[in-house]
Chain A
Amino acid sequence: MRLSRVDRVVLAGVTLGLFSISIPAFVTYRPNRLAAGESLNLWSAIGAWAILFYLLWLSLVIVVPLVKNDTARNAATGVLANALFVLGFLFAGIAATDLASSENPFARTSLAAGFWLNTLAAYIVLVFARQNLGQDRVLGTITTYAGFGGAALLAAGGFVNELSIMQELVNNEERFIAEALRHLTLSGIAVTIGSVIGVTLGIIAFKNRASERPAFLFVNFVQTIPSLALFGLMIAPLAYFSDTVPFLRQLGVEGIGTAPALIALTLYSLLPITRNTFTSLSIIPSGVIDAGFGMGMSRRQLLIKVQIPLALPVVLTGVRTSAVQAIGNTTVAALIGAGGLGTFVLQGLGQAAPDLILLGAISIIFIALAADTALQALITALTPKGVSGAAQ
């Protein structure tokens, strides 16, 4: 890459970054929950330390392009991007610590637009560096996760405790963990049951052509219904059944709560899994099956050695889609009393406590991303060598 050519994506990221540390509020300080917030941009928040940020951003376009070696240059870009994110987090925490005082325990310092834009800008540059490091697995992985690692360390080390969002976490720690577990359990069970049903449906639809249309009509139908509406539609019949069949009530099945949520979530997870199971079977060339039988394989051997390995990545991709969806939909389940991290979102909305909303929303997003990444890694690990990427 030539000296003079700065990549336009990095340029865009740097522009956004510079903007985010100059103009919008980096943090917002509120003496109490009801008072209007005082916006502090980076300078006001941390004073001369802001120069560090300017230096780092500018070095991305001035210093880094000087590095000739491609891998080194991209690694450096990745490091800088991660640093900018982590430092943003750290200094927001420091600003919060500075602003906090024992006289006013109700005061809150929240992360504001400037911080988020800084994070977004760092992410853009990070993704760019990551893509260019494509071949190098080790460097690439480090680049991707270093930022998270750094932020986690900061949180654990107590450096950002005075930030409003961390305070909300600390205040609700037990409940947070309980609801998080509940969230995971709910989505997890839904996707598991959904996988069993979905795979079965997919196989039936594949083997029995007549059932293909009705099967897909059904799962498509369910998928189209808005989640809240589906939850709502579950309530009435379940309330009815729970009233008329006392046994169910003893089990804990009620009109609202876990039961309708679980049923609805399971139904939602059907489409991606059914469709992918169906597709995974369709794409195995019939020649492969013929060859297998021709070589003397039994049905069982064919299934285990050929069909399942070939179909698995595609089916798992469907499971991955369903899982991410389910984690998101479980948020809405809080509205019908099923718990989960959505309760924080709801509570925050009700109490006009934006950091509570943030706590809930970010945790959910984080869990969704984690599940997505973990499942993608599983899929990659289980994809037989020599087979190109699984169907989307």
Chain B
Amino acid sequence: MIELLSVSKKYGDAFAVKDISMVIGKGELCVLIGPSGCGKSTTLKMINRMIEPSSGDILIDSESAATFRPELLRRRIGYVIQSVGLFPHMTVEENIAVVPRLLKWERSRVAARIAELLELVKLDPLKYREKYPAELSGGEAQRVGVARALAADPPILLMDEPFGAIDPLSRERLQYEFVKIQKELGKTVVFVTHDIDEAIRIADKIAILRAGELVQYDTPENILAAPANKFVHDFVGIDRALKRLSRFKVGKLMRPTTSIAIANRLTSLDELRKKGRFSWVTDENMRLQGWVELTKIATEKELKEALTELDADVVSAHVDTSLKNALSKMLEHGVKTLAVVDENTRLTGEIRMEDIVDFTDGGDST
């Protein structure tokens, strides 16, 4: 757990960071975000004393960070920067081994740990161990950077725009994998970025800074639902409602539904007509085939003709698709309801645009 108590940093007469107090819980991923010059990097660097606070205190697990020798403090905190800073004269292996060696681990333990970490960041140890940083791509280098930071198994990770220099496609993948690792290992992470989408995607809590001051500190959902002031409102973007939708999954709002099997006998068609105008159509294994307008059919033969086929892989959603992506698909295909299918395209429910709209409209703010 990290506590900042009225932490400030002054350069001459100007405050880079002014009186920030916040608590970052154990195992939480807290993102510091704000416009350029807001003090987010400065705040981050005060935690591991790369920059010393001018006033205030920082407690790490209830002990003041100031009481330790800086080097010793930093060996228990992982630190990842945007340019990674891999040592060009050391192999991937040697880079990762730096802190364990500083802590005087035995060779065998170090070697095992390196293999473990490389696998964790999805780099084949046999292939990457002996490579030099100059031979790595941007994404690979950043993965090694993360592995290096985790080497001595520190409880806390500090990250300063680590994925900023990576191309957008690789970046999303790195973010996703990183969050998985973080949750798995239970690390407390303080993460600086200027990319609001990144923050919303990965954060447990977001701290919005402006001109050195903390403006709002809350979960992404709450910030998006209720920005504290005009600045935050503008900062999170005019599409905050949509952004908020990206935090929730289809599973939250989906409704159960029924379907007609394509080979069914249509004895109960009247029954069905009472339910509504449309129905999903599936095959004998509950696999989605399409939908049909019930008013247009009377017999089984007409069912096949009246069927509007759907590509079940494309025009559908999964339980953990974000509401934002589901809405996007609806708009793309011009429908107001999407079928929810499992990985075998078997129908499991449906999600309706009206439900999403209701939800967005200040409904559930969990």
Q: Within the complex, are A and B direct neighbours (CB within 8 Å)?
A: no
A interface list, Cβ under 8 A from B:
none
